[in-house]
Structure 1
Amino acid sequence: MIEYLPRFYEDIREARAIIDSDSDAVSELNVAIGDVLDQFHVDRATWGLEIWERLVGLPSAAKYTIWDSMKNQSVLFDTLEFKTWDLIERSYTSSLDERRAAVKSRLRGTGTVTKDMLKSVCASYTGGTVDINEFASEYRVQIVFTDIAGVPINMDALQAVVRDIMPAHLEIEYVYRYLRWTELDGYAWSWDTLDGKSYTWDEFSEAIQ
């Protein structure tokens, strides 16, 4: 702040002390103002996400505890024996990015549902791309994940939002991406190579390069 005042204040010790103190207060105020302004943008919101969730009709993840999530998934306590608390938190709570994706999907999912809109909603939740196949005579829509191996994270939330924005008479089918035998042939892996990777069957089926 000293640069905004007449130069003679620079040589007055008391004036500099007051200015330095005021500068700290102004800096803190600017940070607080920036934090509030961030809440107006979904991609930067933190504590304001709860307000966004309420506006678009989503249950607030901030009030959805780890225990609620574990109860819904019927988690057995003996499966948690060797997990750290940090790992449990990551496994059974929604991250800020996931919550932001849910809000953006609801914001995008208004009006007439088009292929582009549906692709955008899926991308918001999974971070991947999809192909949309329509079977009008069968009243069926197929969502094909093209670049994510296995079942994408956040699928329960995605399915709920897609069902919410799609016409009620349409059946929605999800097709997941797994390793095909023809793709495996292209890798030219030997049995020794496969043994060295120590894949489980699930990991092997999702080993897409």
Structure 2
Amino acid sequence: MAYYDDFVSWLPPSFLGEDAKTLKAFLKALGRQFDDLEAATDDVRNQFFVPTATWALDQYEAEYAIKLVDGGTYPERRNNVMAKMRGGIGATPAAIMNVLAAYGYQTQIIEDFPNYQFTIKFTDFKGIPSNMGDLKLLLNSMIPAHLKVLYQYLYNVYADFNGKYTYGQMNSSGLTYQDLQTKTP
């Protein structure tokens, strides 16, 4: 009711007495319409920018030929679009790292020229990313077909637990063996 309050403040008090029910009802209705218009305008304005887009993500994905594998949440879909926008400069190691950085992953690229392959090593994330299907689809659209892509993930190893936790602590943590590969109690 922000606009209603504005309208009322613009009128002299004598206009808003006891017998001004019709005027007040009109101003409330008009205020609601302007509030709705402002909300709709803000929503449309948000669609012009990928970090705030919601319903316009379909158009961005169509423009950049992005096919979703896992459906994806709004943040994941925004990351797909922004990564594709960044990745239009070819398949150099820097471009690949830049695209993966858009998803929030720090990586290292290890090139193996004689075998026509390279390895993408995730350096700050343990386990396989939940949106790996989308990442692979995006990277396959960037990388030349004659190059093989290998992925290297980080996991916890015995040395990460040795001397830090007892078997009882690990058992009582409620974590499964698969959970312990990427988390600590």
TM-score range, shorter chain: 0.7 to 0.9
Q: In the alignment, which of 82, 95, 103 is matched to residue 117 of structure 1?
A: 95
Cα-to-partner distance string for 1:86-134 (whole Å, 9 max, x where unaligned) = xxxxxx6421122112112211110133333312322334x33212222
Map of 1:1-209 to 2, 5 A cutoff? 1-2=6-7, 5=10, 7=12, 10-11=15-16, 13=20, 14-59=22-67, 93-125=71-103, 127-185=104-162, 188-207=164-183
**Partners of 1:189 and 1:112 in 2: how far apart?**
46
**Partners of 2:184 and 2:134 in 1: how far apart?**
25
Q: Is the 8 A contact 1:128 1:147 kept in 2?
A: yes
**Partners of 2:9 and 2:172 in 1: how far apart?**
67
**Partners of 1:112 and 1:154 in 2: how far apart?**
22
TM-fit CA distance, 1:142? 1.2
Size of the aligned set, in residue pairs, is: 177
Structure 2 residues without counterparts, runs of 5 or longer:
1-5
**Partners of 2:97 and 2:33 in 1: how far apart?**
46
SS in 2 for 1:17: helix
Larger Rg: 2
**Partners of 1:36 and 1:103 in 2: how far apart?**
18
Between 1:34-43 and 1:9-18, the stretch displaced more is 9-18
Q: Is the 8 A contact 2:123 2:154 kept in 1?
A: yes
**Partners of 2:71 and 2:143 in 1: how far apart?**
27
Cα-to-partner distance string for 1:139-178 (whole Å, 9 max, x where unaligned) = 3221111222211111111011111112222221100111
Cα-to-partner distance string for 1:20-78 (whole Å, 9 max, x where unaligned) = 3211111100101111111111111111111111111123x5xxxxxxx7xxxxxxxxx
C-alpha RMSD over aligned residues = 2.5
Q: Is the 8 A contact 1:9 1:15 kept in 2?
A: no
SS in 2 for 1:160: helix
The structure, 1 or 2, with the larger RCO (C-alpha pairs under 8 Å, 6+ apart) is 2
Q: Is the 8 A contact 1:131 1:145 kept in 2?
A: yes
Query: What amino acid is the match of 1:96?
Result: Y
- 2:3 match: none
- Aligned-pair identity (%): 25
Query: What amino acid is the match of 2:45?
Result: L
Structure 1 residues without counterparts, runs of 5 or longer:
62-68, 70-91
